[in-house]
Amino acid sequence: MFQPTPIQPSNFGAITADQNLIENPALMYLATLGSKDSYRCMKSKLNKFARFFGYKGLVDCDWKSMQPNHVTVFLTAQSWGSARTYNCYLSALKSVALNAWRNKQIDLDHFQRIKSLKQRRVFRALSGRAISSEESASLIKSLEANSLRTVRNRAIFYLMLGCGLRRAEVCELRVKQVSFKNRSAKIIGKGNKERTIYFPDVVLDVLKTWFEFRQLNKNEIDAGFVFGRIDNKLRLYLDTALDPSSVSRIIEKLVTETENLDSRLTPHDLRRTFATRLISKNVDIVEVQKLMGHASVATTGNYVRKDEENLRKAAEKAEL
């Protein structure tokens, strides 16, 4: 099997230690990413590419000398778990090349040769799932206690399932964005796009309860975040935003404490469930798209999960 030897920095251009970071097309690309998760993910990928060719990382990599064959050699040398991962790396490298061209570090022909590299076609069942009504009832039952931690976790769970929020949106949500009078909140989503979400009665009640607990238990420094970290002594810290990984751990722990859950559940599955339930109740997909904060209806469609029984009923409607 062909295993190419990484190209050394001498073959991939030279770079000076005092290069102006503003002219680094990789940093320029990362600065355009709208979410912290996307930033961390793409930064890791670009660092991996740079180190493959002998650089310390993306900062000292001479991106203007990157050629299509460098991209091909790197992608060929990796063991890809999925076409999606392959395409994600390729997309990031194409974006770096685009910024290098915009910054007049490479010419148009150079950029177009990198841009012309083909992505792999993805043939895979959609990941994730939508939970059933029975499962959500069991999860809610596990959140009945009135302790500080449980009330916080209950509010997080209800916002994700009842309003379709992403992990990062829950973490970055601030008190000033919430309006109990209008039963709504202004959400800053991916790409700094703003949308309005609306609270169903049950979500509104749970959120009001959390605000009462929040006011009574918050530490001295309050930066205005709706949710915060709770330590082992049950002290609530609101000086910084809750980390998205903490939300994942909250959901994981909830799953382990809940009966009648047979399979894995991620925070994003709650968002998928939100979309699936609205569509199943014949809510217009364009309205669901707006509530989800998606750029296109096609993306919203990818979130809908139909169970076998629904598919069976749909098939029975076919006419000959």
Residue 101 lies in a domain: yes
Task: Tell me: do 143 and 272 sit in the same domain.
Answer: yes
| CATH number where 78 lies | 1.10.150
For residue 17, the enclosing domain spans 9-115
Query: Same structural domain for residues 185 and 265?
Result: yes
My answer on whether 156 and 235 are in the same domain is yes
Same domain? 201 vs 276: yes
What CATH number does the domain containing 305 carry?
Answer: 1.10.443.10
Name the packing angle between helices 244-256 and 267-280 (round to 10°).
80
Q: Verify that 171 and 204 share a domain, yes or no.
A: yes
Decide which of 67, 89, 115 is a domain's last residue. 115
This prediction's pTM? 0.66
Are 144 and 232 in the same domain?
A: yes
Beta strands in the chain (DSSP E): 178-179, 184-188, 194-198, 218-222, 229-230, 236-238
Same domain assignment for residues 203 and 267: yes
Total structural domains in the chain?
A: 2
| Statement to judge: residues 190 and 294 lie in one domain | yes
Whole-angstrom distance, CA of residue 250 vs CA of residue 139: 12
Q: Provide the annotated active-site residues.
A: 166, 190, 268, 271, 294, 303
- Give per-residue pLDDT as tens, 270-287: 999 999 899 888 888 899
Tens-digit pLDDT string for the chain (320 aa): 333 334 444 444 444 444 455 689 999 999 888 778 888 899 999 999 999 999 999 998 999 899 989 999 999 888 776 788 888 999 999 999 999 999 999 999 989 999 999 888 765 556 788 898 999 999 999 999 999 999 999 999 999 999 999 999 999 999 999 999 999 999 998 878 899 999 999 999 999 999 999 999 888 888 899 999 999 999 999 999 999 999 999 999 999 999 877 678 999 999 999 998 998 888 888 999 999 888 888 878 877 766 555 545 554 554 54
Residue 155 to residues 29, 84, 146, 183, 250: CA-CA distances in angstroms? 35, 33, 12, 15, 12
Task: Examine the domain organization and report whether 155 and 294 are in the same domain.
Answer: yes
pLDDT, tens digit (0-9, with 9 covering 90-100), for 146-175: 999 999 999 999 999 999 999 999 999 999
Instruction: Choose the final residue of a domain: 50, 85, 115.
Output: 115
Q: Which residues contact 293 (CB under 8 A, 6 or more apart)?
A: 187, 189, 190, 193, 195
Same domain, 100 and 185: no
318 domain-assigned: no
Q: Are residues 83 and 37 in the same domain?
A: yes
110 and 146 part of one domain: no
Structural domain contains residue 107: yes
